[in-house]
Amino acid sequence: MVLLEAGKLPHKNYLNIWNLTALRGIQEATDHITLGALTTYTDVQSNPILCEEFPMLCQAASETGGLAIQNRGTLGGNIVNASPAADSPPALLAYNAELELLSVHGSRWVPYQSFHTGYKQTIMQPDELLAHIRLPRLWPDLQHYYRKVGTRKAQAISKVCLAATARVVEGTIEHIRIALGSVAPVPLRCRGTETVLQGSKLGESAIEKARDELAREIVPIDDIRSTRDYRLKVSLNILEDFLRKLRST
Ligand SMILES: Cc1cc2nc3c(=O)[nH]c(=O)nc-3n(C[C@H](O)[C@H](O)[C@H](O)COP(=O)(O)OP(=O)(O)OC[C@H]3O[C@@H](n4cnc5c(N)ncnc54)[C@H](O)[C@@H]3O)c2cc1C
């Protein structure tokens, strides 16, 4: 609607998929949760299992737009819109989400991390619809950290957004996943920084190495919302904040 009103989309016929009930609902299975692509941010926040097991997705939903956007905007639309500044992609990357793409030729499941191929580019074919989003269920002792940095608390697109999970046993990082938004042409899973941290002892040395690696891994830009320098500095600082907040079991 924004693009249409701004004159950036032709005035032609558009298909409204809002009433496709097959793309709605949140289903619970033993090893995963499946969400219809038309799940709204309000649906996400009102689901107790998602809020218990996937808190970063619920936090992203609660910080997306304002209430009107949360009632009407869908997770599927947020994914296919393919903005590197969108709020749910970092959480979906950190949770290893999978997507079901559907067409008259059948259905295929793809890892979300392979979905974005470039700025606003995806692997989706023109005849495909995003049907479902699947989240593998996680260990209960996982720590989750989500931080959106924007101009305001609501109705603000991110300047930087970080989602990360970790499990720390006897001071050693045994599992770690880090994803960032607004720091590259696509929502970015930070594999290099994860590799540096995986198996490391929590502490100053790990923080320093992780900051150095993240600075190499991300490619923030200057744009209307922020500057390259600010985004770089804030990304490193929120990574450090996440690492300092980790607790060992
Ligand atoms: C005022 C305002 C504030 C916003 N604030 C935020 C914010 O804070 N954070 C944020 O991340 N986003 C924000 N957005 C962007 C937008 O609201 C979200 O991305 C929303 O989730 C889009 O969902 P939708 O269902 O409205 O998708 P649409 O806008 O209807 O669709 C987006 C694109 O995806 C395609 N599409 C949608 N669903 C499917 C599907 N199931 N299969 C295939 N293609 C599909 C459409 O054809 C279109 O190209 C904001 C938008 C507005 C207008």
Q: How far apart are CA 100 and CA 80, in angstroms?
A: 12
How confident is the model at residue 154, as a pLDDT? 80
CB crowding 184-216: b at 16 or more within 10 Å, else e: bebbbbbeebbebbeebebeeebbeebbebbee
List pLDDT tens digits, range 206-239: 999 999 999 999 999 888 889 999 999 999 999 9
**How confident is the model at residue 210, as a pLDDT?**
98
- The ligand 1 site (C-beta within 6 Å) comprises 2, 37, 64-65, 69, 73-74, 76-78, 80-81, 86-87, 129-130, 155, 157
pTM, full prediction:
0.96
How far apart CA 10 and CA 4 sit, in angstroms, is 7
pLDDT in tens, 68-117: 999 999 999 999 999 999 999 999 999 999 999 999 999 999 999 999 99
- Strand intervals (E) in 112-159: 116-118, 121-122, 129-136, 143-149
* Residue 140 CA to ligand 1 centre (angstroms): 31
**Residue 147's beta-bridge partner residues?**
162
Encode pLDDT of 7-33 as tens digits. 998 888 989 999 999 999 999 999 999
Q: What is the pLDDT of residue 155?
A: 85
Ligand 1 closest atom vs CA 85: 11
CA atoms within 13 A on the CB side of 7: 0
Other C-beta atoms closer than 10 Å to the C-beta of 54 total 25
Residue 51: CB partners within 8 Å, gap ≥ 6? 45, 58
CA 242 to chain centre: 16
The atom number, within ligand 1, closest to the CA of 64 reads: 8
- Over residues 110-136, mean pLDDT: 97
- What whole-number distance in Å separates Cα of residue 29 and Cα of residue 45? 19
Mean pLDDT of 110-129: 97
pLDDT in tens, 28-82: 999 999 999 999 999 999 999 999 999 999 999 999 999 999 999 999 999 999 9
